[in-house]
Structure 1
């Protein structure tokens, strides 16, 4: 058995080499030449004999171990886990790991309550210790996943590879979908986890009160109080860790969303340019520098001098920007006036029309040239208008609007009740 002090001295002397191997190969195997090159890189003054000697030293102390039936090497798994902890190079785990531990914590809470009812204080102490170990593991997983998300964000920001933003931020989206969203559902205040923690706290508090009343096993009271405090702290730490993780991922996720939106709009513009030509599409918006006559003729020196003189004398016009309160909210020019839409709706669904019709169908038939976003904007305005009589369907329906499909519980028109005069 290798003495611990000797092993620690070797790790201290060659920590730079191990850190270089760990970051370069990412837990993969490497050759003995790679190991010697790493030592040479960290100690350029050492001669070959010294490098060979230190290589054997790392191999003999099982810090670097050979792979079975191979000439390749790898870092000892225990050393690699220790380096992972020191370098904060954790990999993101699954939300299901925490879910399993919390479910086990609930099972142990039931067994602890049963042991307290039959006054089996040996089992009471044993289950308290096991529950304390589960709580510590959950808190370690929170810290581990928070560091892993920090590494994901830093790698996504520092990645200068020539590839799309979608590929660079792929790990960010996966982390949000596989960890953040499941954890948000788990720790919801109306979810099962919150009820589980309340039940465990109640069970432990009941055992503490029972010990105070009976006076038996009074030394175990302190252990139960510490367990209850640690469980409450675990719940608080979990919510805070999840909030920090979401705050780190959300800016990158929003950046990717904006990038996708800009990419779609740019692709739409380029498609129109290819179809209609540059002159037809951009003539109205391009800056006017020369006249049409100068565009197709060779300019003379006096023309160029006059043009440069006009540029020198150019002065921009002062423009007073309006205040934010004075700026009306942007509304696309394609959307018709809402009052006209409302009037058309009232005329169409009068007392003579008895059969209800979905509002989206009415908008699609009345304004077929609108885009899907503009159609949904008018739909939302009609739904929110309290003056219109409408009802929501209990069954989900699928609609095609401007070439796009939507699934929702639609609002339908409801004919107004006929007045006494109509009757």
Structure 2
């Protein structure tokens, strides 16, 4: 294929119009692709493609055809796919439901082989559906490009025939299948498969399964999530590509029908009886034109004359600004005061009496930091006591502080 790539690529393009080739047609393609070859070299190239199975002889005839796998491979590289069938996509989506049920049964019965088989089946289905969606997206774009590039003098019914067929046979069934409601099967089956895979990963972790098994299940669950995103993207892309062309055909078709009907009435009944003066279109009447100031403009001007800017209060004028300030705690001074007053029988009461201006949040925070000090002898009391703070009342067990080493 590498040696005869240019010829094979040209033949793949011709397969859209002529599926079977004769010898003269292939030789003409070789001559057009390699004009510097003589007749003998062209025949040698043809025999080489036949012997390498790139070209196959059709049974009961001397005609030639490209190997189906060669056609599929070249179209995949050139992004020239044929539009797939929505029924094939629907069958694969339905197969996801069966594989998910098999996965759930294998997990419930703790059958490793069944789990592995169901997971591999789901992975293969996800891969096939993703590949078909990607191929169908490129096929839709190819249809739209061919319709736009065709002769503008052709009737729209012939020019957009493939577009209308693709929309009716692929996009609409695909939209019904990917509906997020109860009638849609795509998202529902994928969501069930995704939930089953996530539950399988969690169960395998609890059972202590091999890391490779858990990793494989997790990667297949990621495939399901990615497939749901790809489905939404492909459906939106296909709809945005074909819907404007379909609407253009319908609008032009309705306009042509209306014009044809009107001309037929004029031909049969005459212009005066068909288009009477009271039924003439509005654009045929003489309408007076006068420029004047509307009431809306006068209202806007009146509001502009009476406009007064609104007063905006700055944060400095807020009476509650002091309540938003943060208490300043001098750790060194606090430790010095503790050192002078040791021993202290009630730490929270001591903090309240020495720093009454602190907020309750600051007092409780400093209290909890001090009772966790590693170099202080701290012992809680066995009797509970209540302590009134600024806004709350705390019921606690007093903590006694005594000297034990140096306080840093």
Structure 2 residue 234 is matched with structure 1 residue 241: yes
Distance, in Å, in 2 between the alignment partners of 1:25 and 1:214 is: 55
2: distance between equivalents of 1:116 and 1:226? 17
CA distance in 1, matches of 2:207, 2:25: 68
2:70 equivalent in structure 1 = 79
On the 8 A contact 1:29/1:73 being kept in 2, the answer is yes
Looking at structure 1, the residues matched to 199 and 15 of structure 2 have their Cα atoms a distance apart, in angstroms, of 53
1:213: how far off?
A: 2.0
How far apart are residue 226 of structure 1 and its match? 0.9
Q: Is the counterpart of residue 190 in structure 1 residue 181 in structure 2? A: yes
Corresponding residue number in structure 2 for 1:151: 142
Task: Name the residue aligned to 2:248.
Answer: 255
Taking the TM superposition and a 5 Å limit, the aligned residue runs for 1:144-293 are 144-160=135-151, 163-191=154-182, 192-193=184-185, 194-277=187-270
Q: How many residues align?
A: 285
Q: Does the CA contact (< 8 Å) of 2:144 and 2:242 recur in 1?
A: yes
Please, which runs of 5 or more residues in structure 1 have no aligned partner?
A: 1-7, 286-317, 327-423
Tell me, yes or no, if the aligned pair for 1:90 and 1:147 is still in contact at 8 Å.
Answer: yes
1:28 aligns with 2:14: no
Question: What secondary structure is seen at the aligned counterpart in 2 of 1:93?
Answer: coil
Larger radius of gyration: 2
Instruction: Provide the C-alpha distance between the structure 1 equivalents of 2:261 and 2:148, rounded to a whole number of angstroms.
Output: 28
Relative to the length of structure 1, the TM-score reads: 0.62
The Cα shift of 1:245 comes to 0.4
1:88 aligns with 2:79: yes
The 5 Å alignment of 1:404-423 reads none
Q: Distance in 2 between matches of 1:25 and 1:218?
A: 48
- Residue pair 1:121, 1:217 contacting (<8 A) in 2 also: no
In structure 2, distance between residues paired with 1:9 and 1:147: 25
Provide the residue aligned with 1:44 in structure 2: 35
Query: Counterpart of 2:21 in 1: which secondary structure?
Result: coil
Q: How far 1:20 moved relative to its partner?
A: 2.1
Q: Secondary structure at the match of 2:65?
A: strand
Whether the 8 Å CA contact 1:105–1:131 is kept in 2: the answer is: yes
- For 1:93-130, what per-residue CA distance to the aligned partner results, in whole angstroms no more than 9, with x for missing partners? 22221211121111111111111122222221222112
Report what 1:315 is aligned to: none
Q: Distance in 2 between matches of 1:279 and 1:36?
A: 67
Q: CA deviation at 1:282?
A: 8.4
Q: Is the 8 A contact 1:211 1:218 kept in 2?
A: no
Q: Structure 1 53/212 Cα, relative in aligned 2: closer, same or farther at 3 Å?
A: closer
| Cα distance in 1 for residues equivalent to 2:95 and 2:181 | 20
Name the CA shift for 1:48/1:277 in 2 (closer, same or farther; >3 Å): same
Corresponding residue of 2:124: 133
CA contact (8 A) 1:90 1:148 kept: yes
Quote how far apart the aligned CAs of 1:260 are: 0.8
Distance 1:69-1:281 versus aligned 2 partners, 3 A rule: same
Which consecutive unaligned segments of at least 5 residues does structure 2 have? 281-288, 298-408
Q: SS where residue 84 of structure 2 aligns?
A: coil
The 3-state SS of whatever aligns with 2:2 is helix
Over aligned residue pairs, what C-alpha RMSD do you find?
2.9
Deviation of residue 196 (structure 1)?
2.2
- Using a 3 Å threshold, how does the CA distance of structure 1 residues 230 and 25 change in structure 2: closer, same or farther? closer
CA drift of 1:167 comes to 2.0
Q: CA deviation at 1:161?
A: 7.5
